[in-house]
Amino acid sequence: MDEVPGNAARYRTGLAVRRAVLGDRHVDRAEVTATDFDQPFQELITEAAWGTVWSRPGLSKRERSIVTLALLAALGHDEEVALHVRATANTGATRDDICEAFLHVAIYAGVPARVQPSMN
């Protein structure tokens, strides 16, 4: 990519964080396969998700990784779950963290979906 879109500083920060979490190989592949049609979406992801949300100081990368895994699992985004499980090698989230997050998802996203409201 020759031009830096939108907020240049936020984009550069986002690209660095995205690479640190997902790895150079994944980001390079996403950049190489981007088309004119989806390039703006790639820029949005880099700037908004990685340059804004993942770059905030409130949570560590480990904590953000755990939250991300729980959300993706609850929403049924299996391919993204797999990507972010692999990314835990870069975020510090452990196997036990992943197991706990998925148990939490099972209870709070799985059980309520199956519980019928009581008839009073």
**Per-residue pLDDT tens over the stretch 39-65:** 999 999 999 999 999 999 999 999 999
- Which pLDDT does position 119 carry in this prediction? 54
At 6, the pLDDT band (50, 70, 90 cuts) reads low
- Which pLDDT does position 7 carry in this prediction? 85
Please say if the pLDDT value at position 1 is more than 50: no
Which pLDDT tens digit goes with each residue over 76-120? 999 999 999 999 999 999 999 999 999 999 999 988 776 666 555
Cα separations (Å) of 87 from 11, 40, 56, 114? 20, 24, 18, 31
Q: Strand, coil or helix: what is 50?
A: helix
- Which pLDDT does position 111 carry in this prediction? 81
pTM here?
0.84
